[in-house]
């Protein structure tokens, strides 16, 4: 295995160990020693590959977002129906806050740094763009098949993601505020209904 491959594998090992630490101990309660123990490396190795905690957390954000994107694509590929694909997209995105809470925890921590750190803004913007583009392609497919009415696919995708984020953040702050499954189902129905051709008269 080449040195580049070894380095990439070692970095991925550390990033995944960090995700596990966030899951086990909470975002603010884990240490680099915890990461080193789970990754099976020394703290010195972690600092060799990552300049500081922010550098490591950006890699964590990138990894978790990529995993979510992969899950979306894999599950959507199981259907040829644009409406079903969109329902899958919304369902996975709405479940992120419950099943991959570390994504929102890291994301929210970095949101406070957007005005100070251009790199942070660009990485978060990149992931939002990927989610919008994935969603927009499904909407475009539905319009081509005359299953969805004509809309601006990227704008409607931004609307969908803003709804997902809004619900997810409210639940993250107060998970007893509403029944999540019921609201998720209602929101999905409303989003789909907004895309269906409108009857004349």
DSSP H helix total and E strand total for the chain: 9, 0
Give residue-wise pLDDT tens across range 18-37. Answer: 888 887 887 778 888 999 99
CATH number assigned to the domain with residue range 51-195, chosen from the 4 options 1.10.357.10, 3.40.50.2000, 1.20.1510.10, 3.30.230.10: 1.10.357.10
More confident residue, 100 or 42: 42
- Whether the pLDDT of residue 201 is over 60: the answer is no
Give residue-wise pLDDT tens across range 4-22. Answer: 677 888 898 999 898 888 8
- Whether the pLDDT of residue 169 is over 90: the answer is no
pLDDT score of 176: 93
Q: Under the phi-then-psi rule, with left for phi > 0, alpha for psi from -120 to 50, and beta for the rest, what region is 117?
A: beta
Mean pLDDT, rounded, for 139-153: 97
The alpha carbon dihedral of 43, 49, 52, 53 has a sign of: negative
> Which CATH architecture does the domain made up of 1-50 adopt?
Orthogonal Bundle (1.10)
Residue limits of CATH 1.10.357.10 in the chain: 51-195
User: Which among 141, 143, 117 is positioned nearest to 54, based on CA atoms?
Assistant: 117
- Whether the pLDDT of residue 144 is over 60: the answer is yes
Percentage with pLDDT > 90 across the chain: 50
pLDDT band at 2 (very low <50, low <70, confident <90, very high): low
Asked if residue 197 lies in contact with residue 149, where contact means CB atoms within 8 angstroms, the answer is: yes
Residue limits of CATH 1.10.10.60 in the chain: 1-50
Give residue-wise pLDDT tens across range 173-182. Answer: 898 999 999 9
Give residue-wise pLDDT tens across range 93-131. Answer: 999 888 877 677 777 776 776 667 787 788 888 989 999
- Whether the pLDDT of residue 150 is over 60: the answer is yes
Q: Rounded distance, CA 155 to CA 195, Å?
A: 12
């Amino acid at each position: 295995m080449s040195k580049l491959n070894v380095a990439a594998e070692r970095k991925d090992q550390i990033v995944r160990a960090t995700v596990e630490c966030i899951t086990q101990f909470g975002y603010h309660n884990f240490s680099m020693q915890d990461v080193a123990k789970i990754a099976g490396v020394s703290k010195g190795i972690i600092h060799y590959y990552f300049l500081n905690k922010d550098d490591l957390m950006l890699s964590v954000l990138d990894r978790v977002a990529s995993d979510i994107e992969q899950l979306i694509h894999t599950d959507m590929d199981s259907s040829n129906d644009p409406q079903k694909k969109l329902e899958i997209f919304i369902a996975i995105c709405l479940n992120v806050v419950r099943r991959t809470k570390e994504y929102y925890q890291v994301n929210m921590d970095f949101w406070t740094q957007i005005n100070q750190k251009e790199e942070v803004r660009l990485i978060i913007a990149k992931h939002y763009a990927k989610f919008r583009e994935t969603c927009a392609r499904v909407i475009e497919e539905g319009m081509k098949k005359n299953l969805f009415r004509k809309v601006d696919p990227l704008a409607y995708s931004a609307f969908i993601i803003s709804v997902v984020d809004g619900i997810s953040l409210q639940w993250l702050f107060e998970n007893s505020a509403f029944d999540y499954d019921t609201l998720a189902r209602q929101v999905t129905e409303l989003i789909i209904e907004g895309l269906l051709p409108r009857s004349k008269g």
